[in-house]
Structure 1
Amino acid sequence: MSDFEFDSALLSGGQAFVLGHPVEHSLSPDLHTAAYRFLGLDISYRRLDTVEDQLPERFAMAQSQRNVLGFSCTMPLKSAVKKFLDEQTDFAQAVGVVNTVYWRQGQDAAPKVCGHNTDVSGIVNALDWAGASEQQSIRAAIVGGGGTATSAVAALRVLGASSIDVFVRSEARAQRVKEVAERIGVLLNFYPLDSFPAHSAGYTTAVSTLPAGAADPLAEQMQTPLNGALLDVSYDPWPSAIALRWQELGGSVVSGKDMLMYQAVDQVKLFIGLSPEDRLDDELQMINSMCAAIGLEERTRLPQTVSSIRQLKLSERYQ
């Protein structure tokens, strides 16, 4: 099945969970279950509604049961989870948020609790599927300044952006976005959220991080023809109003489902003891099993591997 010999006996009966609040509508169990079935691995993956105060309990459970392979962390835990880690990858430290927790054997008998960020890979590959590509002349925008915007800054940096326009209701509430931009050397320009329609035609690549329905008023005001790519991280309903309008004006769009699927590919690898850089012989077939599980169109090429700090193109000042 792959270049790597899975220890099926070791993984048999393994568990993984998606943690966050709320998580009852998460599609992660569909994606992970499809991948493990394809790989022939007996691993269960379930939703576990978790707020920040419950994190000590979740990590204590993992330590006591010894068969927990990993946690997928969604809002509001992507920063809070870091204090429970023994180490983070360089990439996760640069991005500043962790969405993937996994265990690795340390030099002593106790496994180490590790953290990584696969959201950046998810965003880069979703935008790539929509037609965006790494370029020196990228003109990039982010709509919204919440948790996903932090990873979006890093993803747009991987794609070549040195400056990004950010459209928010309150610049003061986008502190984490500012922090990651400073760490990786990206210049941010803040604008009022309701001014995005007037600027939208100027971007080759845009990411809307707003909750479902929150961008609808912006869509109604967009009038100028477009030729850029938009990732709308919301996906229910789909197409969203802003995605539909973006397409009507000539641009290409991709949904948060695609982002979720691509980031899950790296999580699966980490949970079964590999790294994101490791390639499976039948990786494209596994990905298409995951796509089928949540109603995405079949992929025709492998995703980029996005997990190295080098891909953030840090200048000497920021290294």
Structure 2
Amino acid sequence: MSTPRRAAVLGSPIAHSLSPALHRAAYAELGLDDWSYDRFDVDEAALPGFVEGLDASWAGLSLTMPLKRAIIPLLDGISETAASVEAVNTVVFTEDGRRVGDNTDIPGMIAALHERGVEKVESAAVLGAGATASSAVAALAAICTGPVTVYVRSRERGDEMRGWGDRLGVDVRVADWTSAGEALRAPLVIATTPAGTTDALAGAVPDAPGTLFDVLYEPWPTALAARWSAAEGTVVAGLDLLVHQAVLQVEQMTGRGPGPLAAMRVAGEEALAAREH
């Protein structure tokens, strides 16, 4: 008889997370009836104690804000991908007891774009300069052959994004947020800002837009995404990113692959629909 295995998503706040719905759907599809996946509200101060308290039944953890950097000192090693942006969203507990960190956000972004037919672009724009923006620049390193313009609200954030560009081998150029409407003319626009931030830009969507990747999934669609779709541009949603990065997490934690993308997407869509009602 197999030993029950556990996994969970940690963060604070965490009640909104769709990860349990996605991972549980994957376990059901893969026949892993003795696996469970939960969510725990854990902040940076509580993280070391939580990790130390885990027993051998644990297979892995998903990390969301504010823990993606706080987890790193608690690990035995991290992947090159995670090291490239100093952020871990996935921890796998190996059979020999090691804690190994990875970042599935970056390959998840690339996979979500590929699914919508975006393989290469000559230039791109990123709205925002937080942790997700650095992952976006890392993803663009693989698909953008030219400059990436990042729209920011402060000089300090602009300097940080230039630093990420230098580190990742991307030609990052910085522009002030007041000119963010110009970003929408880029062949690929990645919006990484909190809900409501880009609403005022919806009126600036061009007549024949390229691709918008909006990392939000709730509320959806955002005003910008709705206007983009109305103008017949390609839209990649935050749920697409969430599902693709979760597929990779499931594969790493369970050792089973490929992860059941379709079943996980349906579970995410149903969970969001249930919240709306």
Structures share fold, TM-score greater than 0.5: yes
CA distance in 2, matches of 1:170, 1:79: 22
1:19 and 2:3 aligned: no
Larger RCO, structures 1/2 (Cα 8 Å, 6+ apart):
1
CA distance in 2, matches of 1:35, 1:257: 15
Runs of 4+ displaced beyond 4 Å: none
Q: Under a length normalisation based on structure 1, what TM-score does the superposition of the two structures give?
A: 0.79
Give the one of 124, 133, 140 matched to 1:140: 124
CA distance in 2, matches of 1:113, 1:175: 33
Q: CA deviation at 1:176?
A: 5.1
Give the one of 187, 200, 203 matched to 1:217: 200
Unaligned residue ranges in structure 2 (runs of 5+): 271-277
Unaligned residue ranges in structure 1 (runs of 5+): 1-7, 297-319
Secondary structure of 1:227's aligned partner = coil
Give the one of 168, 172, 182 matched to 2:166: 182
Give the one of 67, 70, 73 matched to 1:80: 70
Q: Which piece of structure 1 moves more, 260-269 or 287-296?
A: 287-296
Compared with structure 1, are the counterparts of its residues 226 and 76 closer, same or farther at alpha carbon in structure 2 (3 Å cutoff)? Answer: farther
Compared with structure 1, are the counterparts of its residues 118 and 176 closer, same or farther at alpha carbon in structure 2 (3 Å cutoff)? Answer: farther
1:102 and 2:76 aligned: no
- Do 1:144 and 1:208's aligned partners in 2 also have CA atoms closer than 8 Å? yes
Match of 2:139 in 1: 155
Match of 1:57 in 2: 49
- Do 1:131 and 1:229's aligned partners in 2 also have CA atoms closer than 8 Å? no
CA distance in 2, matches of 1:238, 1:176: 29
Secondary structure of 1:93's aligned partner = helix
Q: Under a length normalisation based on structure 2, what TM-score does the superposition of the two structures give?
A: 0.91
- Do 1:94 and 1:184's aligned partners in 2 also have CA atoms closer than 8 Å? yes
Q: CA deviation at 1:178?
A: 3.7
Q: CA deviation at 1:175?
A: 5.6
Compared with structure 1, are the counterparts of its residues 50 and 39 closer, same or farther at alpha carbon in structure 2 (3 Å cutoff)? Answer: same
Match of 1:288 in 2: 262
Q: CA deviation at 1:158?
A: 1.2
Q: How many residues are treated as equivalent by the alignment?
A: 269
- Do 1:162 and 1:185's aligned partners in 2 also have CA atoms closer than 8 Å? no
Q: CA deviation at 1:96?
A: 2.1
Give the one of 205, 208, 232 matched to 2:188: 205
Q: Which piece of structure 1 moves more, 173-182 or 86-95?
A: 173-182
- Do 1:75 and 1:147's aligned partners in 2 also have CA atoms closer than 8 Å? no
1:264 and 2:236 aligned: no
1:38 and 2:38 aligned: no
CA distance in 1, matches of 2:23, 2:183: 38
